[in-house]
Amino acid sequence: MTTLLRTLALTLHYAGLFAVDRVDLNVQPGSVHALIGPNGAGKTTLFNLISGLVAPTEGTVLFRGLDVTSLPADRRTALGLARTFQTSRIFGAMTVLENVLTGLQPRCFAGLIATVLRTPAFYREERALVARARDTLHMVGLSARADLPAATLPHGEQRLLEIARAIAPEPALLLLDEPAAGMNPAETAALANLVRRIRDLGTSVLLVEHDMGFVMDISDAVTVLNFGRCIFQGTPAAARQAPEVMEAYLGQKVAARLAARAPRMTV
């Protein structure tokens, strides 16, 4: 089996800093792959490079064996790449169902003329899309909310909606940016189950997450970033033992403790 997502020496030079520095990442099909590292390590930036929202300074992104480095984000989505955002970016003015339908754009083929003339083919496609969207909402447990305005959902459900919107077209790879942030333990456990089900249905998952229990629980592979560099790649169990990983995290904890003790700087 070929590697699903591969980055080769991916680099982003930004304002004199290497936000991402020669990262080689390999995500295997059928896996849940975690991307961890201290704050500011470049995880979200790497997501933006992979999904095509930011162009790299150097390096290559290969997705399903294709060089997608110069493709815009919407073309990568059409190839089967999906993502969520760190702070959820649902379409608040739409209903929950309409959000998921919007996620199904890669599955929409009716042209302008068929749409205006309301051909039978148009209705057939539209019915299939709505059915698929309802199935997806059922899978994440939001069926009862389908017709509510999305902005009225509580935080945890908005995060689930964003995942539903991303997985509706059955992408090959789903990027989740801190999916468990702001969730209580019960919600996090449910999320872990959902991620496993997504993987079992054939979508690989690459996720950024700070909740280490969650990461160790569901990941098949772990990549650790620090200062934009990849410092470790392996299994979760190996990551736990690796001294360089300890150091990256410990360094940050010590620094955080020192900062907490120091008087607040005033400007």
Partner 1 sequence: MLAQQLINGVLLGASYALFALGFTLMFGVLRVINLTYGFYFSAGAFAALFLTRDAGLGIWAALPLAAVTAGLIAVALDWLLLAPLRRKRAPELASLMVTLGGVLALYSAATAILGPDIRRLPPGLVDGTVFELAGLRVATPQLFILVASFVLVGALVWLLNFTRLGLAIRAMAENPDAAGLMGIDTGRTAALVSFVAGCLAGAGGVLIGLNFNAIHPYMGESMMLRGFVVVIVGGLGDIRGALIAGLALGVVEVLTAGYVDSGLKEAVAFAILVAVLWTRPSGLFGRPALRRA
Partner 2 sequence: MPEWLDDFLWTYQNLVHALGINGLLALSMYVVLAVGQLSLGQAAFMGLGAYSSVLLTLKLDLPFLAVLPLSCVAPVLFALAIGVPTLRLSGVYLAIATIGLGEVLRAVYLNVDWLGGALGLSGIPGRAESWMIFGLLGVAILALWAVGRSAIGRAMAAIREDETAAQVMGINLARYRLGALLASAVLAGLAGALGAHSSSFIGPNEYGFEPAVTILSFALLGGIGTPLGPVVGAWILTLLPEVLRGFSDLRLVFNGVIIVLAVLFLPEGLLALRMRRHAA
- b/e string for 200-219 if b means 16 or more Cβ within 10 A? eeebbbbbbbebeebbbebb
**Contacts (CB under 8 A) with partner 1, residues 102-121:** none
Binding partner 2 by CB under 8 A: which of 8, 71, 110, 242? 110
One-letter amino acid of 266:
T
User: Counting contacts by CB under 8 A, is residue 172 touching partner 2?
Assistant: no
Q: Which helix (H) or strand (E) holds 215?
A: helix 212-218
Q: Looking at beta carbons only, is 74 or 247 nearer to partner 1? A: 74
Q: Which two tokens stand for residue 142?
A: 């939001």
User: Counting contacts by CB under 8 A, is residue 105 touching partner 2?
Assistant: yes
Helices (H), 81-208: 96-103, 112-117, 120-140, 155-167, 185-200
User: Counting contacts by CB under 8 A, is residue 102 touching partner 2?
Assistant: yes
Q: Looking at beta carbons only, is 8 or 110 nearer to partner 2? A: 110
The least CB distance from residue 119 to partner 2, in Å, is: 11
Binding partner 2 by CB under 8 A: which of 62, 108, 212, 216? 108
Q: Radius of gyration of the chain from Cα atoms? A: 20
Binding partner 2 by CB under 8 A: which of 10, 21, 63, 98? 98
Binding partner 2 by CB under 8 A: which of 11, 13, 40, 122? 122
User: Counting contacts by CB under 8 A, is residue 74 touching partner 2?
Assistant: yes
Q: For residue 145, give the nearest of 126, 158, 132, 130 by alpha carbon.
A: 158
The answer to whether 214 and 226 are in contact (CB under 8 A) is no
User: Counting contacts by CB under 8 A, is residue 267 touching partner 1?
Assistant: yes
Binding partner 1 by CB under 8 A: which of 8, 62, 71, 73? 73
Torsion of Cα atoms, 99 then 104 then 110 then 111, to 10°: 70
User: Pick from partner 1, partner 2, none: which does 236 bind, CB < 5 to 8 A by kind?
Assistant: none
The answer to whether 166 and 130 are in contact (CB under 8 A) is no
User: Counting contacts by CB under 8 A, is residue 94 touching partner 2?
Assistant: yes
Q: For residue 142, give the nearest of 113, 125, 117, 165 by alpha carbon.
A: 165
DSSP state of 107: G
What does the chain come to in residues?
267
**Using CA atoms, how far apart are residues 128 and 83, in angstroms rounded to an integer?**
23
Q: Which helix (H) or strand (E) holds 62?
A: strand 58-63
User: Pick from partner 2, partner 1, none: which does 244 bind, CB < 5 to 8 A by kind?
Assistant: none
Binding letters toward partner 2, positions 193-232, x by CB under 8 A: ----------------------------------------
Binding letters toward partner 1, positions 43-72, x by CB under 8 A: -----x----xx------------------
Give residues in contact with partner 2 (CB under 8 A): 51, 53, 72-75, 77-78, 82-83, 85, 89-95, 97-98, 101-106, 108, 110, 112, 115-116, 118, 122-123, 126-127, 129-130, 165, 169
